[in-house]
Amino acid sequence: MGLTKQYLAYKPVSSFNIIASARANISFVAMNDVVGRFVVVAAAEKVLVWDMRIGEKVAEFVRDKQEVTYLRTSPDQKHLAVGYSDGLVELFNVPSRQSVCSFASHRSAVSALNFDLLGLKLVSGGLDNDLVVSDIVAQTGKCRLTGHAAPVTQACFMQRYHDVVVSSSKDTQVKFWNIETQCCFKTIVDHRTEVWGIALMRNDDFLVCATADTQLTVYRIAPITDQGAVPVIATTELPEDESTVSPFRCTAAGSIQRAGHGRTVNLVTDANGQVLGCHGTDKKIELFYFCSQDESIKKLTKRMKKLNPNKKTDAEEANVSQLSLTDEIKRLAPIPTPEKVKSFDLLLGSRNELRICCTFLKNFVQLFSLDVEAKNAEPASLYAVQKQGHPSEARSVSFSSDNLAIASGSAESLKLWSRASQTVLRTVDTGGYVVSTCFVPGDRHVLVGLKTGELLLIDVVPGEVIERIEAHEKELWAIVLTPDMHGCVTGGGDTTVKFWSFELIANAHGGSGKVLSLLHKNTLKLEETVLSVRISQNGKYIAVALLDTTVKIFFLDSLKFYLSLYGHKLPVVTMDISYDSTLIITGSADRTIKIWGMDFGDCHRSLLAHDNTITAVQFIPNTHMFFSCAKDGKLKQWDADSFQKIITLPGHLGESHALAISPNGKYVVSCGSDRTLRLFHRTEEPLVLQDVQEEEREELENATLATGEESTVPGLPGLRLPSKKTIGSEKGAENILECLEVSKQYEEEDCKGPLPPLMFAYSVTTTDEFLLTVLSRVRPSDLEEALLLLPFNAVCELLERIPKLTTARKDHTELICKVVLFLFRVHQKPIVSNQVLLPVIQQIVQTLQAAVGELRDMVGTNFHAAQMLQRELEENDGCVLFRDATKQRIQRDRRRRRREASKRTFVQIAK
């Protein structure tokens, strides 16, 4: 079938204006081995890295269109774990900006992420009340920990005790988990309100919990065998402390009174657990320094001398059991912030410099510095990134006539952007809430309508407001230019439509040149609030959308009534008239778009276009195609002649407020509640409506799993895998079943017939290679879910092929072991009761044990051979290979100084 009408596809260019999302946290990140200068933040569905010194974006990590909810960098600063609102955790490589692996862990948004000390394991907590521990090396989940009755707020690994995870939740409990046994062995139930955060301090000596009140609860952690480590004053023990399962004792040591107001929002510690930071709902970050044991004893000695000056007290006489929280915790100078803090991160450097990076609700990032050791030290603000975006949501956008500039207005300012580079050119303080914008012919000036009814005339070159006009008494909802470009028309909430003409007047400031001004020409008084105004291109008609759900059309020259368009159930919010003045489209709060004829006012078609209120519609210049956006966040293109939807573009994560199309029709820009401006451009790629509709149907089908959300196994009702069923796991199961079927048919022909097309596509010649290729192409995080979907007869077929596969391909022993062990764990009872599989099982055990033994021997041989070669080279060269003697001495001295200075890692912070 030939193309009846060709449409050209619009593709997204970029999203800009957003500096940092308020939902996710901020974190320091090392770029090119430079620490303390770069921060990583979430920006809607993207992750951005900002260079705080120069205020520029240096890196970007992008997945699909899902909002980022949590970030965490690995201890070696090489990887970045990103949690999304759909429960998926993506692991990125920071130097290459590429995705390493992904874990489908949770059924709702990720609310906590943390690496272990070596960065080999990752724990994630979600709003689905679960904790999932993932193995980064194997790229699979290790276990799912269930027990919390409310969303998890924080989770972290203990450093001193192996495979122990601590988690907090809104169910007021703090739980300690053992990863090996996958059970909770200790629960703290002291709190009466939600636990919003936990932090392990000073190498797991202390556990600090933040709740909904203004106090931080501190618990002391000590091994059960070490009786002397528990102070005498901390006698309040939890009931679980009597248990022999726990390797340590957790006792309440006291509480820290915060100076801030409201609940504790965030609890953050540096990498070594020396400095603790927290903030509430006010404009302040409080900092606490946890002293080392030697420093604490010195403070105790001084305190005892003050209490009893006549008695001489030595440091040796001061016992560890006499220490109190006042000796071990020192309050640092608080950080006053310009706005309410949403999230922050800490970094302690080698010269006792503490750096604090913060994100705020008003879309900016700021970096502070504080000297920890100096007395009466005052925090200093180093850098801030705030001019690259609006502090609040953009409500209006418009294009310049040369297609090069974009104007966007928010609650307090107007920004001019370069369309080519998406950078800010000018920022103008409007002093009011911008609801409409329009470029004046010549693109030197911009008209801005405010919520107060004021009309601002802004000169673009100096970026100043040159005139403020009290145009309307209420909101100025619409500004539109007249077809002759000699004036403009405004519509406001005071039920009037006013006509203005552009005039050049003498400069009031005494300059020689003339300046642009507006002269009021005429007023059209109506009965209802005016929501939108449009003028036809032939200059005959003016259309006014009113609050009474009607659109009234008047003659432009005489302002006499011409037509009334009625049919919407709710008020018309937006409308537009085509270039040939034959069609008018109206978008309403009733979610419909109606296409009307301008000659008789008849409704050509009513389209149920969106799932929420239509916020903007606009024709593409010189066509009958138009774009629409709505509060459902979607951006759609329509054909007003055939009444068909052409394409749905990736819109905003929240509501979409406005859109603008460039005069040449090549670019579309939209703004929304996710604080992004999204730019799209028209490509030369043709679209066929049937293909687009088929793709949308497939995408909708893929969004719903064919086998259901739950993974159920007969006989194992309590099986809770650390992964979630995804489209990838379903496709992996389909590929395995198809591989088994094709291999069986090919083997029935004694492998003499023509090679099956599927095997040819995989570039394999034997059925064993075919099966191994299919298994290896399933993503490691989806492999278990894919194997779980296989029917038992397919499992038997797969197990029967394992012995031959093991002996033929010993280089894939690890993958084969993983498949076999999981299938045996899930289908143990039917496999054991099946007598036919008994010889197969015996053969699998023999071949796999031999293959694993060979692999282990090979690894050991290679390791010791490499060590022998190293020793020989060292003896021949007379120097230490891979090590420099001076570096070794420096490292030894550093270790000694580190022991003396409370084991603090030395980090050089770049100025």
Q: In this structure, what token pair is assigned to residue 405?
A: 């500039």
Query: Kindly report the CA angle at 384 between 380 and 387, in degrees rounded to 5?
Result: 150
Residue position matching structure tokens 């005790």 = 161
**Beta strands 266-269; 284-290: pairing state:** unpaired
pTM: 0.86
* Distance in angstroms (rounded) separating the CA atoms of residues 437 and 446: 7
Residue 901: pLDDT band with limits 50, 70, 90: low
Nearest to 731 by CA among 708, 700, 706: 706
What would the pLDDT profile of 121-180 be if each residue is shown by its tens digit? Answer: 999 999 999 999 999 998 899 999 999 999 999 999 999 888 899 999 999 999 999 999
8 Å CB contact between 40 and 80: yes
* Distance in angstroms (rounded) separating the CA atoms of residues 289 and 280: 18
Which of the two residues, 422 and 720, has the higher pLDDT score? 422
Q: What is the mean pLDDT of residues 699-715?
A: 65
* Distance in angstroms (rounded) separating the CA atoms of residues 75 and 77: 5
What would the pLDDT profile of 210-268 be if each residue is shown by its tens digit? Answer: 999 889 999 999 988 644 444 433 334 444 444 557 889 999 999 999 988 889 999 99
Q: Edge to edge, what strands does the sheet with 514-525 contain?
A: 476-481, 487-492, 496-506, 514-525
**Number of residues in the chain:** 911
> What percent of the chain stands above pLDDT 70?
90
8 Å CB contact between 848 and 841: no
The answer to whether 21-146 and 193-224+246-299+333-359 have equal CATH topology is: yes
- For residue 422, the model assigns a pLDDT of 93
8 Å CB contact between 574 and 658: no
* Distance in angstroms (rounded) separating the CA atoms of residues 700 and 695: 9
Best mean pLDDT range from 115-119, 295-299, 616-620: 616-620
3-class SS string, 610-637: CCCCEEEEEECCCCCEEEEEECCCCEEE
3-class SS string, 838-887: HHHHHHHHHHHHHHHHHHHHHHHHHHHHHHHHHHHHHHHHCCCCCCCHHH
Find how far residue 729's CA is from the centre of its chain.
24
End-to-end CA distance of the chain: 65
Q: In this structure, what token pair is assigned to residue 706?
A: 């064919």
- For residue 693, the model assigns a pLDDT of 85
Q: In this structure, what token pair is assigned to residue 458?
A: 């802004």
8 Å CB contact between 774 and 740: no
- For residue 193, the model assigns a pLDDT of 92
The sign of the dihedral angle between the CA atoms of 473, 476, 477, 481 is positive
Backbone angles phi, psi at 728, to 5 degrees: -65, -40
Nearest to 574 by CA among 556, 591, 561: 591
Q: What is the mean pLDDT of residues 825-854?
A: 86
- For residue 910, the model assigns a pLDDT of 44
Using the CB atoms, write b or e for 459-479: b if 16+ within 10 Å: bbeeeebbbebebbeebbbbb
pLDDT at 348 > cutoff 80: yes
306 C-beta neighbours (distance < 10 Å), count = 9
Residue 808: pLDDT band with limits 50, 70, 90: confident
8 Å CB contact between 546 and 530: yes
Residue position matching structure tokens 């909802």 = 477
Q: Strand, coil or helix: what is 6?
A: coil
- For residue 709, the model assigns a pLDDT of 62
pLDDT at 608 > cutoff 70: yes
pLDDT at 103 > cutoff 60: yes
Task: Give the start-to-end residue ranges of the domains of the chain.
Answer: 21-146, 193-224+246-299+333-359, 393-487, 727-831
Q: What is the mean pLDDT of residues 370-381?
A: 88
pLDDT at 909 > cutoff 50: no
- For residue 768, the model assigns a pLDDT of 87
Partners of 156 in beta bridges: 166
pLDDT at 4 > cutoff 60: no
- For residue 189, the model assigns a pLDDT of 92
> What percent of the chain stands above pLDDT 90?
60
Which of 129-138, 160-169, 646-655, 806-815 is the least confident region? Answer: 806-815
Residue 903: pLDDT band with limits 50, 70, 90: very low
One-character DSSP codes across 342-392: EEEEEEE-TTSEEEEEEEETTS-EEEEEEESSSTT---EEEEEE-TTS-SS
Q: Please give the single-letter amino acid code of residue 377.
A: A
The CATH architecture one would assign to domain 193-224+246-299+333-359 is 7 Propeller (2.130)
- For residue 39, the model assigns a pLDDT of 96
What would the pLDDT profile of 513-537 be if each residue is shown by its tens digit? Answer: 788 899 999 999 999 999 999 999 9
Best mean pLDDT range from 96-100, 235-239, 613-617: 613-617
- For residue 294, the model assigns a pLDDT of 83
Helix axes 813-826, 838-877, angle to 10 degrees: 140
pLDDT at 313 > cutoff 60: no
pLDDT at 297 > cutoff 90: no
**Four-way CATH pick for 21-146: 1.10.150.110, 2.130.10.10, 2.30.40.10, 3.30.70.360:** 2.130.10.10
pLDDT at 683 > cutoff 50: yes
Which of the two residues, 283 and 238, has the higher pLDDT score? 283
Q: What is the mean pLDDT of residues 768-788?
A: 89
Q: Please give the single-letter amino acid code of residue 409.
A: G
pLDDT at 3 > cutoff 80: no
pLDDT at 11 > cutoff 90: yes
Beta-carbon-side half-sphere exposure of residue 473 (alpha carbons within 13 Å):
4
Residue position matching structure tokens 């972290």 = 156
Locate all alpha helices (DSSP H) within 16-137, ordered by sequence: none
- For residue 561, the model assigns a pLDDT of 93
Q: Please give the single-letter amino acid code of residue 289.
A: Y
Q: Which CATH class is domain 393-487?
A: mainly beta
pLDDT at 116 > cutoff 70: yes
* Distance in angstroms (rounded) separating the CA atoms of residues 464 and 475: 22
pLDDT at 322 > cutoff 90: no
Q: What is the mean pLDDT of residues 900-909?
A: 47
22 C-beta neighbours (distance < 10 Å), count = 14
- For residue 233, the model assigns a pLDDT of 38
- For residue 710, the model assigns a pLDDT of 64
The DSSP secondary-structure symbol of 905 reads P
Which of the two residues, 725 and 608, has the higher pLDDT score? 608
Q: What share of the chain is helix, strand, coil (3-state, %, to 5)?
A: 20, 40, 40
**Beta strands 514-525; 496-506: pairing state:** antiparallel
The DSSP secondary-structure symbol of 98 reads E
- For residue 651, the model assigns a pLDDT of 87
Q: What is the mean pLDDT of residues 483-509?
A: 90
pLDDT at 711 > cutoff 90: no
* Distance in angstroms (rounded) separating the CA atoms of residues 366 and 344: 9
- For residue 188, the model assigns a pLDDT of 93
The overall average pLDDT reported for the chain is: 87
Burial of 285 (0-12, 13-18, 19+ CB in 10 A): buried
Q: In this structure, what token pair is assigned to residue 815?
A: 């993958």
- For residue 719, the model assigns a pLDDT of 67
Which of 505-509, 570-574, 712-716 is the least confident region? Answer: 712-716
